[in-house]
Amino acid sequence: VQKVLSLRFEPSSSLAALQTLSSFYGEGNSVDQRRNLRYMIENENLKLSKEFVDDFSNVESAIEDMSKRIADLEGLLDTASSQLQDSRDNTHEVLARARKLNLHKKHTTEKKEVLDLFSSRFILSPENEARIRNSDTPIDDDFFRSLKQLHRVRLEARRMLEELNDSSSSSTEGGGVPSTPSSTSDGANSSHDELKGGSHYDAALAVDILHQTSDLQEIAYERIFVWIQRQCKELVSVASDHEAEEEVSMRIKKGLHVIRHRIVYFNHSAKEISRVRRQLLLQRFHETLVKGGHASRPIDIHAYDIVR
């Protein structure tokens, strides 16, 4: 009793413990109840343990359910991660291919620009070539424009050939250079060989262009020569119309200006024009002699007048 009395208890905790302990006895406080106090406490502890186990089983099932969901979520995350990695790999391949295609497109565009520039300078368009070759097409301003384009193409080819000849001659004159180490001389020789091969290719290309366009130029000159003959005949038929005669004469002058580089065609055309002019002069003199002019009487009427 002294030992119990000497103990110090917290008022609140001691009161709660005593109240809990008093609930074990119920209403009575008999000797049997005090003897069975330990048993009752153990039963109460067992009861509390069972309640704790029952309550914790719900928590455990909830935790297991949560663990299962977490495992499922981890599986989904792993699947999503693998799919994301696959998409990254595929995207990387697509981007690499896109960069390659863009580079190829850039090179193709540059080549197309070079080809367009080359075509505009050294190749006659199919429309212009057909206009020159086809004998059914009329010789008009469009024909002369096509022929002008043909002359421009041939001039560009000759200019390229002259530039290549000048560059090759200058490189030949500068061939005597001082001796250098073997590696440097080998590199210089290889570069010189590459430039020489490229210049030979360009020269052959220029010669091919001149050869291909020469036949077309001859066709154009021949057509213009025949056309001038027809214009001379038309000049005779329109001799009475001054405006029409002037128009035909201008067309003939234009044709002569084009074929002046072909001496044979030019001389034949000049002879034909001289013959037609002589014929027109004789025809007009005869008309003036017999019929008279617009405001004059025929010359034959005054033939009796010796003084006149």
Of residues 289, 149, 154, the one with CA closest to residue 210:
154
Domain membership flag for residue 145:
yes
Structural domain includes residue 29: no
248 and 234 in contact (C-beta within 8 Å)? yes
292 with 155, same domain: the answer is yes
Residue 1 lies in a domain: no
Asked if 160 and 264 sit in the same domain, the reply is yes
CA distances from 224 to 252, 265, 276 (A): 9, 9, 17
The reply to whether 279 and 141 lie within a common domain is: yes
Residues 109, 66 within the same domain: yes
74: Cβ contacts below 8 Å, ≥ 6 apart: none
Calpha distance 291→300 (Å, rounded): 9
The structural domain count of the chain equals 2
Q: Which domain, by its residues, includes 273?
A: 136-166+200-301
Sign of CA dihedral 296, 301, 303, 306: negative
| pLDDT tens for each residue of 201-217 | 678 888 888 888 888 99
- Does residue 195 lie in a domain region? no
The number of C-alpha atoms within 13 Å of 30 and in the hemisphere containing its C-beta is 6
- Are 213 and 249 part of one and the same domain? yes
State whether 207 and 265 are in the same domain: yes
State which of 94, 122, 150 marks the end of a domain: 122
Question: First CA to last CA across the chain, in angstroms?
Answer: 190
What pTM was estimated for this model as a whole? Answer: 0.55
Do 147 and 265 lie in one domain? The reply is yes
Question: Token pair for residue 176?
Answer: 């005597």
Per-residue pLDDT of the chain (308 residues; tens, 9 = 90+): 576 566 666 666 666 766 766 665 555 566 666 677 677 778 878 888 888 888 888 888 888 999 999 999 999 999 999 999 888 888 888 899 999 999 999 999 998 888 888 877 878 888 998 999 888 889 889 999 999 999 988 888 888 888 878 776 665 555 444 444 444 444 444 444 544 545 666 788 888 888 888 889 999 999 999 999 999 888 888 877 778 888 888 999 999 999 988 899 999 999 999 998 888 888 877 777 777 666 666 666 666 666 65
Query: Phi and psi (nearest 5°) for 293?
Result: -95, -160
- Structure token digits, residue 219: 């066709």
C-beta atoms surrounding 236 within 10 Å = 13
Between CA 14 and CA 20, with CA 17 as vertex, the angle to 5 degrees is 150
Same domain, 141 and 226: yes
**Up-side HSE of residue 99: CA atoms within 13 Å toward CB?**
5
Q: How many helices (H) and strands (E) does the chain have?
A: 9, 0
Same domain (yes/no): 106, 146? no
Indicate whether 108 and 223 sit together in one domain. Answer: no
Take residue 201 and report the two structure tokens written for it. 């290719």
The token pair at 12 is 């609140």
Place of tokens 């009329």: 138
Q: Model confidence over 252-294: pLDDT tens digits?
A: 999 999 998 889 999 999 999 999 888 888 887 777 777 766 6
